[in-house]
Amino acid sequence: MWRGYDMVAPSLHLDPDVGFHVRVPTYPLSVKPDTLMTPTSIMQYFSDYYQNTTYDLTKGMAAGPFHDPARFGHAHRLDGNWERSISIARTTHSIVMQTRPNMADAIGGVAWYAQGVPADSVYFPISCGQTTLPTVFNQAIRTQFDTESTWWAFQFTTNWAHIRYDLIHRHIHTERVKYTTLARELQQSTEASCRSRNLSTSDCVALVESAYNEFIVTTTNAWWQFAWRLVSSFNAGYEFFNESATGGRSIGYPADWANQTEYVLYPQHYHPPAQVAAEENRTAAVDPDTGVLSIVVGGSSAQLEAFYLPSGFLLGFVCGTMSLSLVVAAVALVSRVRQEVASPKARASVEEQGEPAQGDNKVVAATDSAIV
CA distances from 214 to 116, 135, 183, 245 (A): 20, 11, 11, 41
CA separation for the pair 116, 87 (Å, rounded): 10
37 against 370, higher pLDDT = 37
58-66, Cβ contacts within 8 angstroms, sequence gap of 24 or more: 58/165, 58/166, 61/260, 64/165, 64/257, 65/253, 65/254, 65/257, 65/258, 66/163, 66/164, 66/165, 66/166, 66/167, 66/254
Q: Does the pLDDT of residue 90 top 70, yes or no? A: yes
Write the pLDDT tens digit of every residue in 229-251. 999 999 999 999 998 888 999 99
In this predicted structure, the answer to whether residue 326 has a pLDDT above a threshold of 50 is yes
Reported confidence tier of residue 318, pLDDT bands at 50, 70, 90: low
User: Higher pLDDT residue, 324 or 208?
Assistant: 208
Half-sphere exposure of residue 288: CA atoms within 13 angstroms, side-chain side: 4
Q: What is the DSSP string of 8-26?
A: H-GGG---TTS---SSS--
In 85-107, which positions are buried (b, 16+ CB within 10 angstroms) versus exposed (e)?
A: bbbbbebeebebeeeeeebbebb
3-state SS assignment for residue 190:
helix
User: Please, what is the average pLDDT of the chain?
Assistant: 85
Answer with the residue of higher pLDDT: 338 or 85.
Answer: 85
Distances from the Cα of 260 to the Cα of 56, 61, 232, 256, 269, angstroms: 20, 9, 30, 7, 17
Minimum mean pLDDT range among 94-108, 188-202, 287-301: 287-301
Of 178-187, 268-277, 297-306, which one has max mean pLDDT?
Answer: 178-187
> Which residues lie below 8 Å from residue 293, measured CB to CB, with a gap of 6+?
285, 286, 308, 309, 311, 313, 314
Residues 337-366, mean pLDDT to the nearest whole number: 54
At 314, the pLDDT band (50, 70, 90 cuts) reads low
- Confidence band (pLDDT; 50, 70, 90) for 369? very low
On the question of pLDDT at 348 being above 70, the answer is no
Please give the average per-residue pLDDT across 297-302, as a whole number.
Answer: 44
Give the pLDDT band (50/70/90) at residue 91.
very high
pTM of the model: 0.72
Cα 35 to Cα 9, 96, 258: the distances in Å are 8, 18, 42
The answer to whether 82 touches 56, Cβ cutoff 8 Å, is: no
Out of 83-92, 231-240, 266-275, 299-308, pick the least confident.
Answer: 299-308
How many other CB atoms are there within 10 angstroms of residue 149's CB atom? 22
Whole-angstrom distance, CA of residue 265 vs CA of residue 321: 40
Q: What is the pLDDT of residue 218?
A: 98
CA distance 107 to 300: 78
Residues whose CB falls within 8 Å of the CB of residue 333, separated by 6 or more in sequence, listed in order: none
Round to whole Å and give the CA distance between 65 and 58: 10
In sequence order, what are the beta bridge partners of 111? 97, 126
Pick the closest to residue 109 from 9, 237, 260, 212 (CA basis): 212
Span 58-73, pLDDT tens digits: 999 999 999 999 999 8
Region 16-34 average pLDDT: 89
What is the structure's pLDDT at 315? Answer: 66
**Amino acid making up residue 19:** G
pLDDT of residue 295: 55
Distance of alpha carbon 156 from alpha carbon 251, whole angstroms? 22
pLDDT in tens, 134-173: 999 999 999 999 999 999 999 999 999 999 999 999 999 9
Write down the domain spans for the chain.
37-240, 254-288
Hey, is 68 helix, strand or coil? coil
Task: Look up residue 238 and give its amino acid.
Answer: Y
How do residues 165-185 score in pLDDT, each as one tens digit? 999 999 999 999 999 999 999
